[in-house]
Amino acid sequence: MRKWVIHEILADAALSHASVPVISGSERFTYASLYDRSLRLANSLSRQGIGKGTVVGVMDVNSHRYLELKYALSMLGAVIHTINFRLPWDDLVFTVKHAHDQWLFVWDGFGELASRIAQEVPQVVWMGSDRGAGYEDFITAGHSELPQAACSVEETDAYSIFYITGTTGVPKGISYSHCQMLTGSMQIAHHLGLHDTGAWLRADDVMMPLIPFFHIHGWGVPFIAPYLGAPLVLAEQRGPAEQLTLIEEHRVTWSNMVPTQLFMLLQQAGSKDPNLAHVPLKVLTGGSSLSTGLAEQAHRAGVTFSLIYGGSDQLGTAISVAPGLDGAARLVRLSTHMTAFPYVRVEVRNQFGTSVDSDGQEMGEVWVQSPWIPNGYVDNPEESKRAFFDGWFKSGDLAVRYPDGSFYVMDRLKDAIKSGGEWIASSVIESVISEVPGVKAVAVIGQPDPAWGERPIAIVEAQSTTTRENIRQHLDAAVARGRLAKFWIPDSIRFIESMPLTSAGKIHKAALRQMGSVSSSDLG
């Protein structure tokens, strides 16, 4: 019997899609050659004592090496810890210690950071360099038969561990089995293939994941692409300008990225061509809300998109679909309304645990059930108890629900502002402000207020031509059109040189709050 274990995906692809290309930077592979390399790697690592349950940290950009490790470690029943190299140093060390990484595979391109983290793990393999025991040596030394260990890997064995990093507290580890990671990833592909989304996926798409592989395995693309037999382009360390070159050179048709990456890519493209590329690009985006401004900018550039809802502690849960919709209505729906995957149950509940009305008005927290959600965080009973309850995962996201069952995530609960006992969704105000010409980034945060508890203020990064008055007028117009309640209008608008970002590329609201209640550029 064949089992739902990760490495079977590449075994299948090597047979059925043997010559389909996988581009990694300037190197060219095929699914057959990558499978061969993964087998050799697995056999070499097996001889080194890596086996069932061995935790192996990997710190790399999106490369063929990372792909090979994802499959080779699966064959051995080892657990891959996908290290988030953008974490602050203390958190980075915490995750490596907490996961008990026994081996570290690290890309030399990280330089000093790589050298430092290498000292924290017993066994280190350098990738992309001549330092110490080299990665390519393992591949050369191994033979290309399926290792014996592969037969005893079970669907319910742990496949991977990674960490959720909030803006407060220590990182929380979460572990997924082969079957959980597989079904959670594939439901994304299935939904994109079968439903009317803006990130329509087919086996003949050329896929270039820009979500880093340490972030929920690049939202599953390293598994989805060989599962489909789709050509795969890995951008490695390349930035927006070179990503654009890769898109054009390899005729990439499908990508995933957070809104910030989409914004940077569009900025880059804007300077040379009205369209992003000469082929239509379909983008799956998520991780933070997509502003109306960015949605329209993407639309003008010929990029179609859908939004995915999920996270490290729930995997993918919902994707925006727009059956039968065109034009502006389609754009709005794809930017906002999330439809849960089959076998995922989403509820929006108030503080008493009762479902809110499906009226698109009442806000509550998103609770999620699915076959692939674990029961808690690794060795963290306190946080587990807070977030996992009675088979449900309490997401910490604030949403409204619509009569058709779809939901709209307005904010993180901790980012939402409670003013006079009512919720104000910062992301909705941010979306309105993003439409003002010249606005590059905007964050709305709560500020303590003696009368109302909290009041919103807006922090804006914009071109010098954009004035506070432009923004005020636009907000007033939004109130007049019913898009915002009048009491949602921020008490002040402050300009900032450049927005602080988290390790995941999102706006670092906690840092903004810490900057104090008055910014030097505040003249409002």
Residue choice 15, 133, 328, 485 for contact with a copy of itself (CB under 8 A): 15
Residue choice 113, 203, 325, 501 for contact with a copy of itself (CB under 8 A): 203
* Sites for a copy of itself among residues 29-58 (CB under 8 A): none
Picking from 506, 488, 398, 524, the residue whose alpha carbon sits closest to that of residue 443 is 506
Asked if residue 109 binds a copy of itself (CB under 8 A), the reply is no
Asked if residue 227 binds a copy of itself (CB under 8 A), the reply is yes
Asked if residue 18 binds a copy of itself (CB under 8 A), the reply is yes
**Closest to a copy of itself by CB, 3 or 440:** 3
Query: Smallest distance from the beta carbon of 192 to a copy of itself, in angstroms?
Result: 8
Give phi and psi for 210, each to the nearest 5. -105, -10
Residue choice 202, 278, 385, 386 for contact with a copy of itself (CB under 8 A): 202
Query: Smallest distance from the beta carbon of 347 to a copy of itself, in angstroms?
Result: 10
Q: CA 358, 360, 363, 367: dihedral to nearest 10 degrees?
A: 50
CB distance 247 to 234 below 8 Å: no
**Closest to a copy of itself by CB, 20 or 493:** 20
Report long-range pairs for 138-141 (Cβ below 8 Å, ≥24 apart).
Answer: 138/40, 138/41, 138/44, 138/45, 139/37, 139/40, 139/41, 139/44, 139/68, 140/40, 141/40, 141/44
* Sites for a copy of itself among residues 333-392 (CB under 8 A): 339-340, 342-345, 369-371, 373, 375, 391
**Closest to a copy of itself by CB, 84 or 187:** 187
Query: Smallest distance from the beta carbon of 166 to a copy of itself, in angstroms?
Result: 24
Query: Smallest distance from the beta carbon of 339 to a copy of itself, in angstroms?
Result: 7
| Residue 329 to residue 188: CA distance in whole angstroms | 23
* Sites for a copy of itself among residues 316-335 (CB under 8 A): 321, 323-324
Q: CA 122, 46, 223, 232: dihedral to nearest 10 degrees?
A: 90
Amino acid (1-letter code) at residue 417 = I
Query: Smallest distance from the beta carbon of 41 to a copy of itself, in angstroms?
Result: 22
Q: Which residues pair with 127 in a beta bridge?
A: 107
Residue choice 204, 359, 379, 476 for contact with a copy of itself (CB under 8 A): 204
248-257 burial code (b ≥16 CB/10 A, e <16) = eebebbbbbb
26-44 burial code (b ≥16 CB/10 A, e <16) = eeebbbbbbbbbbbbbbbb
* Sites for a copy of itself among residues 160-199 (CB under 8 A): 186, 189-190, 193-196
Q: CA 323, 398, 314, 62: dihedral to nearest 10 degrees?
A: 80
Give phi and psi for 64, each to the nearest 5. -65, -30
Query: Smallest distance from the beta carbon of 267 to a copy of itself, in angstroms?
Result: 32
**Closest to a copy of itself by CB, 16 or 473:** 16
Residues that bind a copy of itself (CB under 8 A): 1-4, 8-9, 12, 15-16, 18, 186, 189-190, 193-196, 201-204, 227-228, 321, 323-324, 339-340, 342-345, 369-371, 373, 375, 391, 404-405
